[in-house]
Amino acid sequence: MNKYRLLLLSPLITLLLGSCGEKAKMEIDEYTVEPISMSEVVTATGTMESVTQVNVGTQVTGIIEHLYVDFNDHVTKGQLLAELEKTLLESDLKSADANMASAEASYEYAKANYERDKKLHDEQLISDYEFQTSERDYNVARLSYEKTKADRVRAAKNLNYAEIYSPIDGIVISREVEVGQTVVSSMNVADLYVIADLENMQVVGNVDEADIGQVKVGQHVTFTVDAYPNDTFSGTVTQVRLNPTTTSNVVTYEVIVNAPNPDLKLIPGMTANLTIYTLELNDVIAVPLKALKFQPLPQEEENSDLPQPVPLDSPVQHAVWVVKDGKLVQTAVEIGMANNIYQQITKGLNPGEKIALQYREINNRPDNENREQNPFLPKPPGANRNKEKK
């Protein structure tokens, strides 16, 4: 029984051994050089903010008498926004005016006495004590007058503070008070409005520490927001902040991206999905990375159909193999930028040239239909059906 099995397997073993002894034919995958666009990106998320945002308040205590703007109103620089009740502030100014007038009269009187006593003292007609007393009264009156002038300036300024004007062009994004409400100013300015310039927005992006080394000022950025999923917005990296932020053991760095917003679609607080182009080249000569690693096979009999390699006379730092006139010609090149797929070639190649990338096995055996089938090998799918049709 074992002898019978051995006899049946002998043709199969012979066929398999014969197949293993055959060396596969090879051919070269070629790449045609042509100008392409190259890019490399870093992704991140961030938050929309206005570049200029001002909290508008009052430096004086008072009751809100008028509010002239509300949420979402467009305002211009210098526009009147609100007014406080002015009765007490006007009274303070009148009182300051009266005090200043009284102090001025006292000052003029003391000055005249001092000038008269000085002449008399110079002629030794009055004692030193009398002259010193007159000089003291003059200095006290002068300082009192200076103080009342300063008080008058403060009272006038406080009255002006009762009218609140917009410091910038923008949109009112928050109103903190109502008419009739008392605002109290102590050490801090009491806030009335928040005004933002929504035409000039920025994105504060959080870039992972693994990618921050590739991000530079001036790089092009595109981003989307959930509110407008079909729109893509553009910007530029304006700042890379060096202060790290650690959240759940993940270190990120803030990257500021300017975002012009003429349509006012972008609103502070929106989440932006950023794509930062750390590499962006257009119409450059580039080749796949594997082209720089290609090495010709030795010229053996089974590969005699392959192009004959023609190496350079001396080694170079970077080279590719150009397929030319049935030969592989090693060509020195200078390289530029690279991404994960392509390497920019700044010198050494021209559009239209073909370069070698890698070898590929080819099958020179006859088709299965023309080949003698071994009865002990599995038949290809559909062979029985084709035989029945015949």
Q: How sure is the predictor about 389, in pLDDT bands with cuts at 50, 70 and 90?
A: very low
pLDDT of residue 306: 84
pLDDT of residue 10: 47
Q: How sure is the predictor about 320, in pLDDT bands with cuts at 50, 70 and 90?
A: very high
Contact between 62 and 362 (Cβ < 8 Å) = no
- The answer, yes or no, to whether residue 387 has pLDDT greater than 70, is no
- Please report which helix (H) or strand (E) contains residue 27, including its range: strand 25-32
Q: How sure is the predictor about 303, in pLDDT bands with cuts at 50, 70 and 90?
A: low
pLDDT, tens only, 45-87: 999 999 999 999 888 889 999 999 999 999 999 999 999 999 9
Residue with tokens 């803030």: 254
pLDDT of residue 185: 76
SS3 175: strand
SS3 280: strand
pLDDT, tens only, 197-233: 999 999 999 999 999 999 999 999 999 999 999 999 9
SS3 53: strand
pLDDT, tens only, 270-301: 999 999 999 989 999 999 999 999 999 876 65
* Lateral strand order in the sheet of 308-310: 25-32, 354-362, 319-324, 327-332, 308-310
Burial of 384 (0-12, 13-18, 19+ CB in 10 A): exposed
Question: Across the chain, what does the average pLDDT equal?
Answer: 87
Q: What share of the chain is helix, strand, coil (3-state, %, to 5)?
A: 25, 40, 30
Of residues 238 and 15, the one with the higher pLDDT is 238
Contact between 95 and 155 (Cβ < 8 Å) = yes
Integer CA distances (angstroms), 57 to 68, 170, 188, 197, in order: 14, 16, 9, 17
- The answer, yes or no, to whether residue 390 has pLDDT greater than 50, is no
- The answer, yes or no, to whether residue 14 has pLDDT greater than 70, is no
SS3 122: helix
138 Cβ contact list (under 8 Å, min separation 6): 110, 111, 113, 114
- Please report which helix (H) or strand (E) contains residue 117, including its range: helix 87-122
Mean pLDDT of 109-118: 94
pLDDT of residue 297: 84
Structure tokens at 267: 């609103």
- The answer, yes or no, to whether residue 155 has pLDDT greater than 70, is yes
pLDDT of residue 59: 87
Please state at what angle helix 87-122 crosses helix 128-161, rounded to 10 degrees: 160
